[in-house]
């Protein structure tokens, strides 16, 4: 599997995705500080109490991050999966003396792991920078505790896994239609639905774990479906 993943990385330039992650990371860092500064910018804001809470700030940042990196993963999938199994490229893919299932598995694993790892890395950097500056020049009136830091990390991990799930589910839908636009639209819709559900239950943390479980089941169904499709494809 590792050799197949290395082969995919060599065959496809990842530099555009590295740049996208870098831009996304700086944007999310700026967004995080802007949200934290709202009580200072506009003290009359009706929801000032929410923006003064570390839990709310990190949940909001993780939601936006999940959408960004989930869509990024879907865009990667259009290149690594949708294009590779469409038209003449499908003939080339099937010419390798490697199991179709293993080849597809390597592609899907890469497309899942990249957004998850990228979001984790960006989230850890953003969280570390923010917590350090808060300990020196606090923007929030909320108290910074170990529990707050622990929940921020757990939330980041769960939302990162959801970003990977968004990517795979969108790729599945796009693979059924062999369509790049369908893949991207599916990613946007899936991410939007997840953001709507999670944002309406910020204070009820179990919802995050429930959605993660549902996403895991749907992702397994999607992967098995794509394995079956690629095994039964004729070129």
**Tens digit of pLDDT per residue, the chain (235 long)?**
666 767 666 677 788 899 999 999 999 999 999 888 887 777 766 667 777 788 888 999 999 999 999 999 999 999 888 888 776 666 566 666 677 788 888 889 999 999 999 999 999 999 999 988 888 888 887 787 888 889 889 999 999 999 999 999 999 999 998 889 999 999 999 999 999 998 877 777 788 899 999 999 999 999 999 988 888 776 5
CB 139 within 8 A of CB 41: no
pLDDT recorded at residue 2:
67
pLDDT recorded at residue 69:
97
CB 179 within 8 A of CB 86: no
Rounded Cα gap, residues 177 and 15, in angstroms: 28
Structural tokens at position 194: 């997840």
Range of the domain at 65: 2-232
Q: Cβ atoms within 10 A of the Cβ of 153, count? A: 15
Q: How many domains does the chain have?
A: 1
Please choose, from the candidates 195, 173, 154, 175, the residue with its C-alpha nearest in 3D space to the C-alpha of residue 63.
195
């Amino acid at each position: 599997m590792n050799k197949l993943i290395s082969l995919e990385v060599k065959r496809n330039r990842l530099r555009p995705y590295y740049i996208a992650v870098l831009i996304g990371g700086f944007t999310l860092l700026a967004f995080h500080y802007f949200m934290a500064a709202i009580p200072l910018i506009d003290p009359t804001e009706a929801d000032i109490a929410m923006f003064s809470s570390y839990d709310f700030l990190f949940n909001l940042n993780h939601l936006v991050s999940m959408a960004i990196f989930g869509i990024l993963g879907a865009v990667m999938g259009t290149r690594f999966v949708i294009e590779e199994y469409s038209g003449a490229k499908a003939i080339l893919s099937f010419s390798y003396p490697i199991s179709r299932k293993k080849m597809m598995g390597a592609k899907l694993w890469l497309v899942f792991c990249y957004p998850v790892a990228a979001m984790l890395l960006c989230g850890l950097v953003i969280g570390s920078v923010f917590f350090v500056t808060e300990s020196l020049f606090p923007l929030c009136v909320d108290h910074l505790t170990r529990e707050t830091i622990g929940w921020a990390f757990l939330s980041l991990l769960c939302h990162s896994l959801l970003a990977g799930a968004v990517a795979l589910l969108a790729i599945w839908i796009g693979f059924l239609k062999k369509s790049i636009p369908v893949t991207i639209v599916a990613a946007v819709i899936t991410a939007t639905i997840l953001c709507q559900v999670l944002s309406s239950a910020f204070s009820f943390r179990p919802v995050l774990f429930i959605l993660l479980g549902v996403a895991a089941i749907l992702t397994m169904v999607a992967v098995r479906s794509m394995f079956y499709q690629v095994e039964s494809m004729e070129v």
